[in-house]
Structure 1
Amino acid sequence: MIITDTHTHLYSNEFDEDRTEMIQRAIDVGVSRFFIPAIDSTFTQAMYDLEKDYPDTIFLMMGLHPTHVKDNYIDELQHVEEELAKRKFVAIGEIGIDLYWDKTHLPQQQEAFRKQIQLAKHSNLPIVIHCREAFDEIFEILEEEKSADLFGIFHCFSGTYEQALQAISYNMKLGIGGVVTFKNGKIDQFLDQIDLKHIVLETDSPYLAPVPFRGKRNESSYLLNVVCKLSEIYNVGQEEIAQITTENSKDIFGI
């Protein structure tokens, strides 16, 4: 069984004490494809180091995370462009809008999101969207930018059924992780109405650990708990969940 974690921050300092062991635990349970989102330029070297250690299992994205869109965001976007010119990445991400922590940089977040979407189109790459308390703002820009060459993943999807359909209408897969196991997560109540062809798996580790690890550090091996939950929701075997969602990830990332 091959399971794909389409979104994990393996370079996080929360893994500094046991990163090698943590990755091996994931591989041991079948999680053998790890897709790594960018945050800002300060994490770039750590991402490259990870890829060097695991060249066959770790795949890198490039982008500017919305919570790191600050006064220097133009410089950060320039860094994204420079890195894209140097080498190959599998996606532009994670990008988007986050109004949970700070609304003061909303105009800059919107501009950075729009510019990175256009960069993805120019590079023929998918986007990986971060959305927190910003569905309306995200959808507004996706509506402006929608086209045949706009596609990707709506990371950590936690919206309504209607919002899920809207995201899918923009050629987005839904990134499903630990939230689907939460009692108050709500997406488990309608997910069986969404065809599995629109779903990919993710942890967002070290964040959003699934039940029974909720509140603790998340890691990629816990993706097996998400597979189990989706197996219940869709009433199909875990192997089928793993196979379909891995194929979906290949459709997006091309690898």
Structure 2
Amino acid sequence: MLIDSHCHIFLEEFDEDREEIVRNALEVGIEQMLLPNIDSSSLNPLLKTIEQYPEICTPMLGLHPTSVKGDYVAELSRIESVFSQCTPCAVGEIGIDLHWNRTYFPEQKDAFLAQLQWSVELNLPVSIHIRDAFKETIDIIEQFPLKEELRGVFHCFSGDKEDLEWVKRNPNFYIGVNGNITYKHAPLNREMLQGFPASRIIVETDCPYLAPIPYRGKRNQPAYLLYTANFLANLLGIEKKEDAYALFTENTKRLFRIEEH
């Protein structure tokens, strides 16, 4: 049994076959899926999916950094109003993304700080999206007045050894590993993972993106999580797949306090 700790099956890419996608996941042992929000436009599809699969899908609520524009305050307000309509397991996905440009970096920073505050007030973990901005993100977290009360995951971890060392030194934070770990030039490798606590690693698909080999380039889905979990188990030196699955599942439940939802 596994939990897909980060997937977007509420997006339009799955509108034609969502039922089949969920069935595929259940058939291979994916017992639960955690669904991070993107912005106000994704709220209705997210809530409908949660309503359709209440025993399987659990929402996160947040504003994705690439959706942060000049109107971010209104966007945050719309998203915040939905917390009373569901039981989210996290604030997410949130963070800093400077891959394309830095135009909205000040707004991204303000939005990130506001949502870190949500997480503290609601006692929820954060799912953090970072792209070409690890230093900037860490600086924001380090300067956050209530840093010690934060906990969360660096979703789709793509930092370097120094970044991973920072995560290691901060026990309230985990790393999320997805299909890109199976790629030839993966951001994580066996050497980097040596010495990192296996108890703070969780697995995810980020579907429909980042499908693992042998499906790279195709639409990803939660059922493909097994390819990532198996590959990661090998990197960690865990011989029995069942032991690896149990580890990743327990880590996910601990971080998101899933049994409480």
Q: In which range does the TM-score fall when normalised by the shorter chain?
A: over 0.9
Contact 2:4–2:225 (CA under 8 A) maintained in structure 1: yes
**Which position in structure 2 is the counterpart of 1:173?**
174
Task: Return the alpha-carbon distance in structure 2 between the equivalents of residues 192 and 186 of structure 1.
Answer: 14
**Which position in structure 1 is the counterpart of 2:206?**
204
Task: Return the alpha-carbon distance in structure 2 between the equivalents of residues 186 and 14 of structure 1.
Answer: 26
Output one character per residue of 1:181-234: Cα deviation in whole Å (capped at 9) or x when no partner: 011014123224322101000000000011111111111111100111012112
Alignment of structure 1 residues 55-70 onto 2, 5 Å: 55-70=54-69
Shift of 1:103: 1.6
Shift of 1:10: 0.6
Match of 1:215 among 214, 217, 235: 217
Moved more, 128-137 or 165-174: 165-174
Alignment of structure 1 residues 86-165 onto 2, 5 Å: 86-145=85-144, 147-165=147-165
Structure 2 residue 53 is the aligned partner of structure 1 residue 51: no
Unaligned runs of at least 5 residues, structure 2: none
Instruction: Give the alignment's TM-score, normalised by structure 2.
Output: 0.94
CA change 1:22–1:87 in 2 (3 A) is closer
Output one character per residue of 1:52-96: Cα deviation in whole Å (capped at 9) or x when no partner: 111111000100000000111000111122112444211100000
**Which position in structure 2 is the counterpart of 1:242?**
245
Moved more, 201-210 or 139-148: 139-148
Shift of 1:165: 2.1
Task: Return the alpha-carbon distance in structure 2 between the equivalents of residues 232 and 120 of structure 1.
Answer: 34
CA change 1:29–1:86 in 2 (3 A) is closer
Task: Return the alpha-carbon distance in structure 1 between the equivalents of residues 214 and 59 of structure 2.
Answer: 29
Task: Return the alpha-carbon distance in structure 2 between the equivalents of residues 212 and 223 of structure 1.
Answer: 12
Task: Return the alpha-carbon distance in structure 2 between the equivalents of residues 148 and 136 of structure 1.
Answer: 18
**Which position in structure 1 is the counterpart of 2:13?**
14
Secondary structure of 2:82's partner?
A: helix
Secondary structure of 1:92's partner?
A: strand
**Which position in structure 1 is the counterpart of 2:186?**
185
Contact 1:192–1:233 (CA under 8 A) maintained in structure 2: no
Contact 1:158–1:179 (CA under 8 A) maintained in structure 2: no
Secondary structure of 1:193's partner?
A: coil
Task: Return the alpha-carbon distance in structure 2 between the equivalents of residues 162 and 125 of structure 1.
Answer: 26
Task: Return the alpha-carbon distance in structure 1 between the equivalents of residues 89 and 187 of structure 2.
Answer: 30
Moved more, 188-197 or 61-70: 188-197
Task: Return the alpha-carbon distance in structure 1 between the equivalents of residues 27 and 50 of structure 2.
Answer: 19
Secondary structure of 2:147's partner?
A: coil
Moved more, 119-128 or 157-166: 157-166
Task: Return the alpha-carbon distance in structure 2 between the equivalents of residues 57 and 34 of structure 1.
Answer: 6
Unaligned runs of at least 5 residues, structure 1: none
Task: Return the alpha-carbon distance in structure 2 between the equivalents of residues 115 and 98 of structure 1.
Answer: 16
Aligned CA-pair RMSD: 1.3
Task: Return the alpha-carbon distance in structure 2 between the equivalents of residues 129 and 47 of structure 1.
Answer: 18
